[in-house]
Amino acid sequence: MTILAHFTLACAALASCLPSSALAASIDSRAISPWTNFNNNVVFRPPADWTDPRTLYARTLQLSDKSLLATCEIYAPDDPLSLPIFRSTDGGATWKEYIRFYDKVNGWGMRYQPFLYVLPQDFGGYKAGTILAVGTSVPKDLSQAYIDIYASTDKAKTFNFISHIAYGPGPETVPNGNKAIWEAFLLMYQGKLVAFYSDQRDPNYGQKLVHTTTTNLRDWSPIVDDVAMPYYDGRPGMTTVAYSKKSKKYVMTFENCGSEKNCQVNYKVSDSPLTFASAPYSPIVSNDTAQVSPYGSPYIIWTSKPGATDGSGIFIANGNYDASVYINDDRALPQNWKRVSINQKDGYSRALRIISNTKGQQKLLVASAGNFGEPDTNALTVGVLDVPS
Ligand SMILES: *[C@@H]1O[C@H](CO)[C@@H](O)[C@H](O)[C@H]1NC(C)=O
């Protein structure tokens, strides 16, 4: 994690930083027809008296019945904290809080960085279709942390603890040297579930990116580095990974933060999601004359290319402080990032997901829960649009 003190810098580098009045206007509530395209629909608007940033770090999921789930961090006065999971059965037009993602084992609360994942196959004693939920469980005094994994076998009505993925002896705060852990991301690969996360526990690095694997959801392997800079002050952070079925390449995005860096979004390409350490990294820079980059908290997905009949697809990435998405083809070459405006609110760790509508069409679901330092506008918002190309 990096709590971005980079807003001024990032905005200086971008044409797209909107004034906050424009953001406020863009997330007014309004009636939306089921299963249509829309932008900036409010899922949840936090009470005004919550602590800044009030909401942050959106994540989504679609279940096989086409219902949608959305969750985010909340900065509520509750102790212990829990993470709300909202549900929509009409393509994101209307939402209700459905369940809380509770810490059931540490007595601390579930505070940071939810991630939702549908098991694509039977695994670890759970059937395909089981919902896995990961979050960072942290006590109110931020003294330590677990990244924990839970499962729901009843479509998110209840979640039960499975195992601790990682322990951080703390403090669970950003300064280098504090043994914090953050931002888990899950991916199945060759019979293993991989959990990627950010790690401040290694005394040689301010922060590095690592992964661990499991074959049974209970026992987790020793960690393997994915990105560690060759200097202490590096803070590569916030792994997400996407896979192209066409090129068979895995692409990992991360924010390149630290005292010498400005959180420009970078990426690596690898034949395996377990060997990112040896892959070179490049920044995402738009291939138009403006040469724009996203800064901070990236997210990447892959989907088949609209209209393509040969199986080819596109990677779609985004980062903070830029409402646009960055599209690349299956090779993910550095000169092929095309920046496309999508008219959705930007956000810290804005989530991208391909969903299927009632006609079986693929749509892009974008979910933002706002940013630090936006106390008048933070809300959990979603947009649904045609897959850009
Ligand atoms: C930018 O990249 C896209 C692929 O994502 C490619 O189709 C396009 O031709 C590139 N544009 C330029 C100016 O190179």
Does residue 292 lie within any of the structural domains?
yes
Distance 287 CA to ligand 1 centre (A): 6
Question: Residue 101 pLDDT more than 70?
Answer: yes
CB 331 within 8 A of CB 337: no
Torsion angle (degrees, nearest 10) of CA 367, 59, 57, 211:
-140
Question: Residue 182 pLDDT more than 70?
Answer: yes
| pLDDT on residue 30 | 75
Nearest CA residue ID for atom 10, ligand 1: 336
Query: Ligand 1: which of 338, 339, 340, 389 to mutate, judged by most atoms within 8 Å of the beta carbon?
Result: 338
Nearest CA residue ID for atom 7, ligand 1: 336
Structure tokens that stand for 303 in this block? 């989907």
Question: Residue 377 pLDDT more than 70?
Answer: yes
Distance 14 CA to ligand 1 centre (A): 20
Does residue 129 lie within any of the structural domains?
yes
Distance 37 CA to ligand 1 centre (A): 26
Task: Give which of 231, 237, 164, 171 is closest to 199, Cα–Cα.
Answer: 237
3-class SS of residue 386: strand
DSSP codes joined into one string, 118-164 = E-SS-BTTB-TTPEEEEEEE--TT---EEEEEEEESSTTS--EEEEE
Domain range enclosing 244: 6-386
Average pLDDT over residues 335-342: 98
Query: Ligand 1: which of 336, 340, 389 to mutate, judged by most atoms within 8 Å of the beta carbon?
Result: 336
Distance 288 CA to ligand 1 centre (A): 8
Does residue 248 lie within any of the structural domains?
yes
Does residue 262 lie within any of the structural domains?
yes
Nearest CA residue ID for atom 5, ligand 1: 328
Q: What is the mean pLDDT of the chain?
A: 93
Per-residue model confidence as pLDDT tens digits over 217-247: 999 999 999 999 999 999 999 999 999 999 9
Distance 319 CA to ligand 1 centre (A): 19
| pLDDT on residue 261 | 86
One-letter amino acid for residue 325 of the chain: V
Per-residue model confidence as pLDDT tens digits over 261-294: 899 999 999 999 999 999 999 999 999 999 999 9
Nearest CA residue ID for atom 12, ligand 1: 287
Does residue 1 lie within any of the structural domains?
no
Domain count, the chain: 1
| pLDDT on residue 347 | 96
Q: Is the CB of 287 under 6 A from ligand 1?
A: yes
pTM: 0.94
Structure tokens that stand for 279 in this block? 């892959």
d(CA 342, CA 275): 33
Cα 1 to chain centroid, rounded: 12
Q: Which atom, in ligand 1's list, is nearest to the CA of 336?
A: 2
d(CA 342, CA 363): 13
Residue 8: pLDDT band with limits 50, 70, 90: very low
**Nearest 5°: CA angle at 349, between 86 and 90?**
30
Question: Residue 375 pLDDT more than 70?
Answer: no
For residue 238, the surrounding DSSP H or E stretch is: strand 234-243
Nearest CA residue ID for atom 3, ligand 1: 336
Distance 102 CA to ligand 1 centre (A): 45
Domain CATH number, residue 335: 2.120.10.10
| pLDDT on residue 11 | 34
Q: Is the CB of 338 under 6 A from ligand 1?
A: yes
Distance 309 CA to ligand 1 centre (A): 20
Per-residue model confidence as pLDDT tens digits over 70-93: 999 999 999 999 999 999 999 999
Per-residue model confidence as pLDDT tens digits over 10-21: 333 333 333 344
Distance 128 CA to ligand 1 centre (A): 38
Task: Give which of 120, 112, 97 is closest to 46, Cα–Cα.
Answer: 97
| pLDDT on residue 16 | 37
Nearest CA residue ID for atom 14, ligand 1: 287
Q: Is the CB of 328 under 6 A from ligand 1?
A: yes
Distance 332 CA to ligand 1 centre (A): 11
Q: Is the CB of 329 under 6 A from ligand 1?
A: yes
Cβ-based neighbours of 124, under 8 Å, separated by 6 or more: 162, 193, 214, 215, 216, 217, 218
Question: Residue 257 pLDDT more than 90?
Answer: yes
HEC profile of 284-353: CCCCCCCCCCCECCCEEEEEECCCCCCCCEEEEEECCCCCCEEEECCCCCHHHCEEECCCCCCCCCCEEE
pLDDT over 90 for what percent of the chain? 89
| pLDDT on residue 259 | 83
Structure tokens that stand for 376 in this block? 């008048």
pLDDT over 70 for what percent of the chain? 92
Nearest CA residue ID for atom 2, ligand 1: 336
